C-alpha cells in the first residue's frame, strides 16, 4: 500500500516529560485520519513534529516515501491549519491566501489564477478584497484552509480547525471539509476533542494516550471493540460499563458493555437505579451494581431506587485490561 505518511518509532520529550514515546503510525494516501485523545496528551505536538516546527528526539518521519525527518518545514510540502487560523490581520483575504505562493516565488499571474480558483472552491471568492478582521469565524476558517490548499501540499494537518465556530455552522463546515477532502483526494490528519465530529468525518480514528497510539480504526471499531479498558472508557458519550466477570462465569476477568447492549428481558444481574437521563425519546438509566456505576439505554422510565434485573445481549471480556473475547457480537449490528 502507498502511504502518504509513516512515523517510525518517533520520540519527543519536553525536559523529563515524554510526550511521544516510540510512536508508530501509517496513513494511506487519501485518508481522513482523526487524532483523538485527552487534553495534554500530545496531539498538537504530534502535528507540529510532522510539519517540522518541532524537532523529534529520535525516529523517522516519512512523507510520500521520502525521509523528511531532518528537513525544515518549508521543504516538507505539508500544510497545517491552526486552531486560531494564524491569519495576517493587516492583509486582505487575497493576500492571506496568496502568501505561501509569494514566498515560494510563484509568478504573479499564476498566483492570481490559483488564489481565485481555491477561493471559488471554498466559496469565499466574494471576500477576496476584504480584510480578514471583518470576516466571521466560519469565513476565517475557510481562508485558513484556502491558504493551506493553495500550495497543493502532499499532506494536510488540521489542529481543531472548527473549534471556534458555533455548533450549527460547525456541522455544515465539517461536511464541506469532508467533501472537499474526498473530491481532491487529499490526505488529512485532523485533531479534535469532539467525538461526534470524529465519528462523523473520519475514515479512521487514532486514539493517542501516554505517548502512543492505543488503537486505530473506524469509530465503530473503537466503540464496539476497544482493545483495552482505557479505550473503552475514553470512547463514547458514556464510558463503557465495566463489571466483575465472576457473576457471568468469567472469573478474574472484567466484562465491558455499552449502554445499548443491555437486555431488559433477561435477569442475570440485579441493579439499583440511581439517576435517569432523558435524551430525545430514550432514557439513559444510571444504576449501581456492586459499587460500580453502569448506564443502559431504555424505553422504560424507571424510578430512582428501583431494583431491576437485567442481562447482556453481548459483551467484551477483558483480561488485565486487554480485550480477550467478544461474546455474541452478532447480537448487536
Ligand atoms: N513547547 C513546550 N515546552 C514544554 N512543554 C510543552 C511544550 N509544548 C507542549 N508541552 C507539553 O507537552 C504535553 C502535550 O501538549 P500538547 O499541546 O501537544 O497536547 P494536546 O493533546 O494537543 O493538548 P490539548 O488537547 O489540550 O490541546 C503537555 O503536557 C504540554 O504541557
Residue 121: predicted pLDDT: 83
Instruction: Name the closest-CA residue to atom 6, ligand 1.
Output: 14
Residue 272: predicted pLDDT: 97
pLDDT band, residue 330 (cuts 50/70/90)? confident
Task: Quote the ligand 1 centre to 48 CA distance (angstroms).
Answer: 10
Task: Quote the ligand 1 centre to 41 CA distance (angstroms).
Answer: 7
pLDDT band, residue 333 (cuts 50/70/90)? low
Instruction: Name the closest-CA residue to atom 5, ligand 1.
Output: 14
CATH 2.40.50.140 boundaries in the chain:
241-331
14 Cβ inside 6 Å of ligand 1: yes
Instruction: Name the closest-CA residue to atom 31, ligand 1.
Output: 40
Tens of pLDDT, residue by residue over 30-78, are 999 999 999 999 999 999 999 999 999 999 999 999 999 999 998 898 9
42 Cβ inside 6 Å of ligand 1: yes
CATH 3.40.50.300 boundaries in the chain:
3-224
Rounded to the nearest 10 degrees, the angle between the axes of helix 93-103 and helix 137-149 is 20
Atom number of ligand 1 nearest to Cα 159:
22
88 Cβ inside 6 Å of ligand 1: no
76 Cβ inside 6 Å of ligand 1: no
User: How would DSSP label each residue in 153-164?
Assistant: -SEEEEESTTTT
Burial of residue 133 (CB within 10 Å: 0-12, 13-18, 19+) is: exposed
- Rounded to whole angstroms, how far apart are CA atoms 161 and 176? 13
Q: Which residue's entry shows cell 432514557?
A: 283
Residue range 304-309: mean pLDDT, rounded = 96
To which H or E segment does residue 222 belong?
helix 219-224
Residue 60: predicted pLDDT: 98
Single pTM value for the model: 0.90
Tens of pLDDT, residue by residue over 258-277, are 999 999 999 889 999 999 99
Instruction: Name the closest-CA residue to atom 4, ligand 1.
Output: 14
Task: Quote the ligand 1 centre to 10 CA distance (angstroms).
Answer: 16
ipTM score of complex: 0.97
Instruction: Name the closest-CA residue to atom 25, ligand 1.
Output: 39
Topology classification of domain 241-331: OB fold (Dihydrolipoamide Acetyltransferase, E2P) (2.40.50)
Residue range 314-323: mean pLDDT, rounded = 97
Site to substitute for ligand 1 among 11, 41, 158, most atoms within 8 A of C-beta: 41
- Rounded to whole angstroms, how far apart are CA atoms 206 and 219? 9
Residue range 78-84: mean pLDDT, rounded = 86
Residue 165: predicted pLDDT: 74
First and final C-alpha spacing in the chain: 30
Instruction: Name the closest-CA residue to atom 10, ligand 1.
Output: 14
Topology classification of domain 3-224: Rossmann fold (3.40.50)
Tens of pLDDT, residue by residue over 232-257, are 999 999 999 999 999 889 999 999 99
Residue range 151-169: mean pLDDT, rounded = 83
Residue 153: predicted pLDDT: 86
Q: How far is CA 203 from CA 220, 223, 251, 284, 307, in A?
A: 10, 14, 37, 29, 42
Task: Quote the ligand 1 centre to 264 CA distance (angstroms).
Answer: 44
Q: In this predicted structure, which of 90-99, 278-287, 321-330 has the lowest mean pLDDT?
A: 278-287
Instruction: Name the closest-CA residue to atom 29, ligand 1.
Output: 40
Amino acid at each position: 500500500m502507498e502511504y502518504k505518511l509513516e512515523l517510525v518509532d518517533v520520540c519527543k520529550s519536553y525536559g523529563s516529560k515524554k510526550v511521544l514515546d516510540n510512536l508508530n503510525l501509517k496513513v494511506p494516501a487519501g485518508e481522513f485520519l482523526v487524532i483523538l485523545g485527552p487534553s495534554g496528551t500530545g496531539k498538537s505536538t504530534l502535528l507540529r513534529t510532522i510539519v517540522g516546527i518541532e524537532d523529534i528526539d529520535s525516529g523517522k518521519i516519512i512523507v510520500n516515501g521520502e525521509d523528511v525527518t531532518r528537513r525544515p518545514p518549508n521543504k516538507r510540502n505539508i500544510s497545517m491549519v491552526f486552531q486560531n487560523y494564524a491569519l495576517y490581520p493587516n492583509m486582505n483575504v487575497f493576500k492571506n491566501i496568496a502568501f505561501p505562493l509569494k514566498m515560494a516565488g510563484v509568478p504573479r499571474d499564476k498566483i492570481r489564477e490559483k488564489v481565485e480558483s481555491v477561493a471559488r472552491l471554498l466559496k469565499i471568492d466574494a471576500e477576496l478584497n476584504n480584510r480578514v478582521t471583518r470576516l466571521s469565524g466560519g469565513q476565517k476558517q475557510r481562508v485558513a484552509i484556502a491558504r493551506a490548499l493553495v500550495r497543493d501540499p502532499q499532506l494536510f494537518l488540521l489542529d481543531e480547525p472548527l473549534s471556534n465556530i458555533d455548533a450549527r455552522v460547525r456541522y455544515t463546515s465539517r461536511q464541506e471539509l469532508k467533501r472537499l477532502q474526498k473530491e481532491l483526494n487529499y490526505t488529512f490528519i485532523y485533531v479534535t476533542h469532539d467525538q461526534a465530529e470524529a465519528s462523523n468525518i473520519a475514515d479512521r480514528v487514532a486514539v493517542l494516550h501516554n505517548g502512543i497510539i492505543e488503537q486505530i480504526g473506524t469509530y465503530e471499531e473503537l466503540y464496539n471493540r476497544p482493545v483495552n479498558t482505557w479505550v473503552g472508557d475514553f470512547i463514547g458519550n458514556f464510558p463503557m460499563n465495566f463489571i466483575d466477570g465472576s457473576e457471568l462465569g468469567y472469573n478474574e476477568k472484567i466484562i465491558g458493555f455499552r449502554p445499548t447492549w443491555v437486555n431488559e428481558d433477561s435477569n442475570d444481574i440485579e441493579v439499583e437505579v440511581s439517576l435517569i437521563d432523558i435524551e430525545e425519546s430514550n432514557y439513559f438509566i444510571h444504576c449501581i451494581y456492586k459499587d460500580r456505576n453502569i448506564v443502559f439505554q431504555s424505553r422504560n422510565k424507571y424510578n430512582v431506587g428501583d431494583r431491576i434485573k437485567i442481562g447482556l445481549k453481548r459483551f467484551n471480556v477483558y483480561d488485565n485490561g486487554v480485550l480477550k473475547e467478544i461474546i455474541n457480537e452478532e447480537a448487536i449490528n
